[in-house]
């Protein structure tokens, strides 16, 4: 693990701006943070199951906005890429206070705290298609688009999917260490990660060994196609996340191929979650825009998976060089 100098290099800061207090958050703020918007992501929010881990993880720093002693906004940041990048995570704004620039207040404080940090040289963020902030001219002037992914929302019954699939061969499961070993294969990396980013549950990480602990944090189940190392087929990562409405299976797809090859991966991931729940599983599928979406649509239509409302459509991933705008 890379040594984390944050504890020594950062001071505890509290600022007031227009009656809004921006301060560091802690484990004790959990209930107040979750109360900001308990209906975000239509019951598919991962934060309720991950806040405690984030608050106790030395790679994370948590922030809140308070107004009249009420927590009205939250954002966490995590040091990734060997400590060189600060990943913005889990922004939440109370519905009554949206449109008042609270996210900018939070990020102003975060950047103030980390500018001058001995390692951090860039800020990274991810924004969904329904986030107005990603069309902000000031934001776009500072942030470079580094990756775009499409999102598909479905739900399914585990047993029904297993009965409908027609898989003839299994995929191979690999460990996170095996995945990191693949990072050394430059030709394969260009095929799997043409954006030079591994995106996982709205994170985007450079394919470097130092990010293994951030990949492990998501507890992924990873499968690869038989001929993957020859430049054919898929690498998929499945994340099972407890959410307010049950369990959510995040399926991260890399590579290319037809829907029958993708079916082998879906079948493997469904087997991996079998027994966790007898209820419907909420399926969130992510793929790079380089993959033809018809491959996914064809498979899911054939398996008659239930389509859920999807207001997000895509995730865009941005990165900002803090040295370029250190005067802000």
Average pLDDT value over all residues in the chain: 87
Residues 21, 65: one domain? yes
- pLDDT the model gives residue 290: 87
- pLDDT the model gives residue 324: 61
6 pLDDT above the threshold of 70: no
- pLDDT the model gives residue 31: 93
Distance separating alpha carbons of residues 124 and 134, to the nearest angstrom: 13
Around 201, how many Cα atoms within 13 Å sit in the side-chain half-sphere?
Answer: 23
For 165-207, write each residue's pLDDT tens digit. 989 888 999 999 999 999 999 999 999 999 999 999 889 999 9
pLDDT band at 14 (very low <50, low <70, confident <90, very high): low
Residues 171, 72: one domain? no
Residues 184, 103: one domain? no
Strands 70-80 and 85-93: antiparallel
Residues 35, 107: one domain? yes
Residues 39, 83: one domain? yes
Residues 206, 285: one domain? yes
Distance separating alpha carbons of residues 286 and 149, to the nearest angstrom: 6
Residues 116, 187: one domain? no
- What is the extent of the structural domain holding 67? 6-120
- pLDDT the model gives residue 1: 33
Whether 134 is covered by a domain: the verdict is no
pLDDT band at 17 (very low <50, low <70, confident <90, very high): low
Nearest residue to 117 via CA among 323, 260, 259, 328: 323
Whether 230 is covered by a domain: the verdict is yes
- pLDDT the model gives residue 7: 41
16 pLDDT above the threshold of 70: no
Chosen domain end from 78, 105, 120: 120
CATH number at residue 162: 3.40.630.30
For 56-80, write each residue's pLDDT tens digit. 999 999 999 999 989 999 999 999 9
State the DSSP code for 257. -
Whether 141 is covered by a domain: the verdict is no
End-to-end CA distance of the chain: 32
- pLDDT the model gives residue 2: 35
Distance separating alpha carbons of residues 47 and 42, to the nearest angstrom: 13
For 74-85, write each residue's pLDDT tens digit. 999 999 999 999
Residues 279, 163: one domain? yes
For 87-127, write each residue's pLDDT tens digit. 999 888 998 888 888 988 998 899 888 877 778 889 999 98
Whether 133 is covered by a domain: the verdict is no
State the DSSP code for 41. G
Chosen domain end from 120, 140, 172: 120
Residues 262, 301: one domain? yes
Distance separating alpha carbons of residues 146 and 196, to the nearest angstrom: 8
Chosen domain end from 120, 138, 169: 120
Residues 229, 308: one domain? yes
Whether 127 is covered by a domain: the verdict is no
Whether 174 is covered by a domain: the verdict is yes
Whether 143 is covered by a domain: the verdict is no
- pLDDT the model gives residue 277: 67
Distance separating alpha carbons of residues 179 and 109, to the nearest angstrom: 35
What is the pTM assigned to this prediction?
0.87
Residues 189, 302: one domain? yes
Residues 79, 171: one domain? no
Distance separating alpha carbons of residues 250 and 239, to the nearest angstrom: 5
Whether 94 is covered by a domain: the verdict is yes
* Number of domains into which the chain is organized: 2
- pLDDT the model gives residue 13: 57
For 234-288, write each residue's pLDDT tens digit. 999 999 988 887 888 999 999 999 999 999 999 999 999 987 766 678 999 999 9
């Amino acid at each position: 693990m890379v040594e984390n100098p944050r504890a020594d290099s950062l001071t505890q800061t509290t600022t007031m701006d227009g009656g809004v207090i921006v301060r560091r958050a802690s484990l004790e703020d959990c209930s107040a943070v979750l109360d900001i918007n308990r209906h975000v992501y239509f019951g598919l929010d991962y934060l309720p199951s991950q806040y405690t881990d984030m608050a106790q993880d030395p790679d994370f720093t948590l922030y809140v906005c308070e107004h009249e002693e009420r927590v009205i906004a939250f954002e966490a940041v995590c040091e990734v890429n060997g400590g060189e990048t600060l990943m913005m995570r889990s922004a939440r704004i109370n519905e009554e206070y949206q449109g008042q620039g609270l996210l900018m207040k939070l990020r102003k404080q975060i950047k103030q705290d980390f500018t001058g940090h001995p390692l951090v040289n860039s800020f990274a963020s991810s924004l969904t298609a329904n986030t107005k902030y990603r069309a902000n001219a000031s934001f776009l002037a500072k942030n470079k688009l580094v990756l775009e992914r499409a999102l598909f929302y479905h739900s399914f019954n585990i047993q029904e999917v297993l009965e409908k699939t027609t898989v003839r061969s299994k995929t191979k499961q690999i460990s996170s260490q095996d995945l990191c070993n693949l990072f050394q294969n430059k030709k394969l990396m260009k095929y799997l990660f043409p954006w030079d980013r591994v995106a996982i549950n709205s994170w985007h990480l450079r394919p470097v060994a130092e990010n293994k602990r951030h990949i492990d944090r998501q507890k992924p189940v990873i499968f690869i196609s038989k001929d993957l190392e020859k430049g054919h087929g898929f690498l998929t990562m499945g994340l099972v996340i407890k959410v307010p409405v049950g369990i959510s299976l995040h399926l991260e797809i890399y590579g290319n191929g037809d829907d029958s090859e993708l079916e082998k991966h879906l079948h493997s991931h469904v087997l991996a979650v079998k027994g966790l729940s007898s209820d419907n599983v909420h399926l969130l599928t992510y793929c790079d825009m380089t993959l033809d979406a018809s491959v996914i649509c064809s498979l899911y239509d054939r398996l008659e998976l239930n389509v859920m409302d999807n207001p997000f459509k895509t995730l865009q991933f941005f990165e900002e060089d803090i040295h370029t705008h250190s005067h802000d």
